[in-house]
C-alpha cells in the first residue's frame, strides 16, 4: 500500500484548489465555515456551478459525462472542496442513484435521467426507510402493483432527507410477497409531481424540517421507470448503500470541523486546558486514522480490488467522529452554546452573550442534528454485524 501522493496528484490538487477558490461563492463559503443554515438556493447554486464545469458527477466515468478521475483524484477533489467551505453536495442524485442507473439502467434511462443529475438542475430524493423498516430495510411494505404499462404505488416512506425540495425520488417498493423478503423488492424512479404524492415535514430537535414523510396514494408510475428487472431491486439497493455509507464517513468535513473546534476552543480560552486539549488530540488521531482507512480503500481501488465490503467500517467511524466534534464544540463554549434563534441568525444577529463568540450560536443545533449520524444509512449496531459477517468471517 502506497499512501504518498504522486507529483501528478499533487499538481491536480493545486488545480482543484485554485478553481474552487475562484468559483465558490464567498457568501456560501462563509455560511459553511460558520455552520449557518444553508438554503435550497445555496445548495443548488453550488451544484449548478459544479455541473457547468462537469464536476458535479465527479465520480462518474467519461462514458457518462464525468471527468473519469481516479479514486485518489476524487478524494483530493472532495478534500479541497470541504476545506474551502463548499457545501456538501446533496448526494442522492450524483452519488447514489446515478451509479445505479449507470450500472443497471438501460440506455434510454441513462439518456433521460443522467444529464439532469449531472447539471444540478434536477433535485433527487431517496425513498428507502419506512416506519418499522429502517435498518431492517427488507421488511418494507410500500407496494407497487403492475397494471398494464404502469405501476400503482401505495405506501409511505419516512426520514426522506430534504424531500420537500425533491423533484424525483428513487424508491424501493414491494412487487412480490413470495420467497424471502429481499426477493420481492424492485427499484422504481418516481416523479414527485405525480398525483397522489404528499410530502409532510418532520420537525427535528434543532427546529429544522430536514426530513419528511412521503405518502403514496394510488400513484401511477410508468413501467419504463423500473430500473433493471422486477424483484431484483435488493441487489441494486446494496450497490447504492455501499456508496452511501462511504459518503457518510465524510473525513474531509471532519478535518475542516477539527480546525473550527480549535478556533472555538482558543476563543473561549479552554485550548490551554491540557485535559481538554487531550480530547482534541484524541479526536485528531481518530480523524487521521479514518483518513488512512479511506486511503487504504483508494489504494485498493487503484489496484483493482473491491473495497466496498468495508464501507460499513467507514460509516461507523465517520459518524462517531461527527458526533464527537460537535460535542467537544459544545463543551468548549459551555452555556454560550445553548441559545439559538435561526431567524435572527439568518438576519445577521448571533446574540450578545457576554464572554461568548458569535461562532457559538449554531452549536446546539449542530449537536442535536448530529445525533442522527449513528442511526441513518443503517445503524452502527447493524453495521458492526455486517462487518463481523462479511469482513471478519
Q: Which of 67, 387, 372, 103 is nearest to 248 (CA)?
A: 372
Nearest to 253 by CA among 51, 2, 126, 85: 85
- What is the tens place of the pLDDT at every residue in 270-283? 999 999 999 999 99
**What's this model's pTM, rounded to 2 decimal places?**
0.86
d(CA 250, CA 321): 10
Q: How many whole angstroms separate alpha carbon 358 and alpha carbon 336? A: 9
Q: What is the DSSP string of 220-252?
A: EEEGGGEESSTT-HHHHHHHHHHHHHHHHH-HH
User: Torsion-angle region of residue 89: left (phi > 0), alpha (psi -120 to 50) or beta?
Assistant: beta
92 secondary structure, DSSP code: I
Residue range 105-125, pLDDT digits in tens? 999 999 999 999 999 999 999
Which pLDDT belongs to residue 151? 98
Terminus-to-terminus CA distance in the chain, angstroms?
Answer: 23
Q: What is the pLDDT of residue 357?
A: 59
- Compute the distance between CA of residue 132 and CA of residue 298 in angstroms, rounded to an integer: 35
Pick from 209, 147, 141, 218: nearest CA to 172: 141
**What cell was used for 215?**
405518502
**pLDDT tens digits for range 334-362:** 887 876 666 666 666 655 554 555 667 77
- d(C-alpha 293, C-alpha 200), whole Å: 39
Is there a contact between 200 and 186 (Cβ–Cβ < 8 Å)?
no
Amino acid at each position: 500500500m502506497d499512501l504518498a501522493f504522486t507529483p501528478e496528484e499533487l499538481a491536480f490538487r493545486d488545480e482543484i484548489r485554485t478553481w474552487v477558490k475562484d468559483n465558490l461563492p464567498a457568501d456560501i463559503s462563509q455560511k459553511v465555515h460558520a455552520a449557518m443554515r444553508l438554503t435550497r438556493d445555496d445548495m443548488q447554486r453550488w451544484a449548478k456551478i459544479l455541473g457547468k464545469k462537469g464536476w458535479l458527477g465527479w465520480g462518474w466515468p467519461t462514458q457518462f459525462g464525468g471527468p473519469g478521475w481516479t479514486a485518489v483524484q476524487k478524494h483530493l477533489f472532495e478534500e479541497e472542496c470541504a476545506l474551502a467551505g463548499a457545501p456538501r453536495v446533496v448526494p442522492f442524485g450524483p452519488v447514489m442513484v446515478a451509479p445505479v442507473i449507470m450500472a443497471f439502467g438501460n440506455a434510454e434511462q441513462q439518456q433521460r435521467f443522467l444529464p439532469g443529475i449531472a447539471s444540478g438542475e434536477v433535485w433527487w430524493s431517496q425513498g428507502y426507510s419506512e416506519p418499522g423498516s429502517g435498518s431492517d430495510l427488507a421488511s418494507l411494505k410500500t407496494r407497487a402493483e403492475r397494471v398494464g404499462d404502469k405501476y400503482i404505488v401505495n405506501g409511505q416512506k419516512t426520514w426522506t432527507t430534504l424531500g420537500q425540495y425533491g423533484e424525483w425520488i428513487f424508491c424501493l417498493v414491494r412487487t412480490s410477497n413470495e420467497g424471502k423478503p429481499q426477493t420481492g423488492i424492485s427499484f422504481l424512479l418516481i416523479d414527485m409531481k405525480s398525483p397522489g404524492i404528499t410530502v409532510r415535514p418532520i420537525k427535528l430537535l434543532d427546529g429544522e424540517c430536514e426530513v419528511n414523510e412521503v405518502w403514496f396514494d394510488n400513484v401511477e408510475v410508468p413501467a419504463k421507470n423500473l430500473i433493471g428487472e422486477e424483484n431484483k431491486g435488493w441487489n441494486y439497493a446494496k450497490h447504492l448503500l455501499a456508496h452511501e455509507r462511504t459518503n457518510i464517513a465524510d473525513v474531509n468535513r471532519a478535518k475542516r470541523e477539527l480546525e473550527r473546534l480549535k478556533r472555538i476552543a482558543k476563543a473561549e480560552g479552554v485550548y490551554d486546558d491540557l485535559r481538554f486539549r487531550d480530547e482534541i488530540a484524541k479526536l485528531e488521531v481518530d480523524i487521521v486514522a479514518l483518513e488512512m482507512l479511506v486511503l487504504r480503500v483508494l489504494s485498493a481501488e487503484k489496484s483493482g480490488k473491491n473495497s466496498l465490503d468495508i464501507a460499513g467500517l467507514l460509516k461507523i467511524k465517520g459518524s462517531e467522529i461527527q458526533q464527537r466534534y460537535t460535542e467537544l464544540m459544545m463543551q468548549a463554549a459551555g452555556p454560550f452554546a445553548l441559545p439559538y434563534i435561526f431567524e435572527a441568525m439568518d438576519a445577521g444577529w448571533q446574540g450578545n452573550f457576554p464572554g461568548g463568540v458569535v461562532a457559538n450560536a449554531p452549536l446546539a443545533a449542530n449537536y442535536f442534528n448530529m445525533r442522527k449520524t449513528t442511526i441513518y444509512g443503517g445503524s452502527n449496531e447493524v453495521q458492526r454485524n455486517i462487518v463481523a459477517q462479511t469482513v471478519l468471517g
